[in-house]
Amino acid sequence: MGNYIILIRDNGIFKIITYCGNFIDFLNECKYKIYFKIRVPSFLVFRRKLKISWYKRFCEDLYFLHISGVSIIDSISIFKQNVENSKNKKMSLFYKVIYDKLIKGNSLYKSIKSTKYEFDNIFLSLIKISEETGNLSEILKNLSKYYEEKILINNKVKSSLLYPTLLSGVLFILFNLCILYFIPNYVDSFQSQFSNLPSYSLVFINACLFINDNYGVFLIIMLLFLLIFIKSFRVKGFLTKFFLKISLFRKIYFKYCQLKFIQALYYMINSGIDISKALKIMSSIKSEPYAIYSKYVYEQINQGFDFCEALKSAKIFESEVISIIKVGEKSSNLNLSLKNIWTGCSKKYYQIMDRSTKLIEPIFILICGILVIIFVSIFILPLISYDNFSHIWEGI
């Protein structure tokens, strides 16, 4: 998988096109001569992403229209007209592209993929499989439920991270106020007293003044680092490994991965996909934390290991979960077992999140307190020490 800029020749005219996906698939589909290709780093690629709520609504509406006997082309036409009435130009163009492709005889999968949006791999894979198996209605129903539950999980995670996020935002604002206003004013007022300050205070003040003088460059560098952090999976992987050393974070993270893994696997198997193919699709979803574990389990199965043995060696699945899956395999009722696990795991995960949220709040308050103490010790206390205070008093 990658993002490419490709130069092709179509009827004697050179064209530059972009492609996102496996380049081998592009070679198999391309009918034109390729002159060169450039692979673009992922953090430089900005493709629009659709909200999870859109996936839920799209699958739900298309499911009801399909079981009512409305064709795919007519359904997309209805979506297009509804969006045009709401004067949403971007989505109107989006549905127009899909509709035009369908009219030309393309499949729903190829029509959706031809748009300029980046789609969830599970969504694309299941749409493709549904058209191959003729089981579109059932798969759309499962996808609708999958995204509905995904919204519930994400909302729970967001609510638990609301307090730390707000506190981090306040700290960022205070940091900028110190750099841009507080410290420069202190420097102007007490510059004659700086010779009496300890070396670590001078280093801190000089660093703040340097950032203040080059604030535009500093802001650009910080934004670039933030962009790389958001877009780069390597950076995310490094940070994840770092935080996994913390017991509380590791427990929450493994529970979250297990929950999302079971959820995705349940809906894919319920849609008629075998375990091996489901794991392969799940391992390709790099944005999901369970992707690396799906890939590991998939490789273990290909090497001849049993599914439960592969889960056990992944070291994130609870023994109780593996036991229930084993019973489900033996009774040929794996789907029901996964559903029961999903119901139980989600309740446990929400309880852990609630307890962890209550613990995170005092930890963040403690961190803020430590930062304030460090700032006061380095900058404020040396300025109001006895010697400096006497110099200031004499000046008055």
Q: Which residues in the chain belong to E strands, given as ranges?
A: 2-10, 13-21, 33-40, 48-49, 117-118
The Cα 247–Cα 340 span in angstroms is 27
* Residue 271 and residue 130 in contact, taking contact as beta carbons nearer than 8 Å: yes
- Looking at domain 50-151, its CATH superfamily turns out to be Type II secretion system (T2SS), domain F (1.20.81.30)
Which residue(s) pair with 8 in the sheet? 15, 34
The model carries a pTM of 0.67
| pLDDT of amino acid 2 | 64
| pLDDT of amino acid 103 | 92
Smallest CA-to-CA distance from 176 within 228, 218, 229, 225 is with 218
Contacts of 313 (CB under 8 A, 6+ apart): 296, 300, 305
| pLDDT of amino acid 386 | 44
Q: Residue 1 carries which DSSP code?
A: -
Residue 244, helix vs strand vs coil: coil
Note the pLDDT tens digit of each residue in 212-223.
888 888 888 888
Question: In the chain, which residues have pLDDT < 70?
Answer: 1-2, 18-27, 29, 35, 40-47, 189-196, 229-240, 353, 357, 383-396
| pLDDT of amino acid 57 | 92
| pLDDT of amino acid 60 | 93
Length of the chain: 396
- Where do the structural domains in the chain lie, given as residue ranges? 2-40, 50-151, 161-396
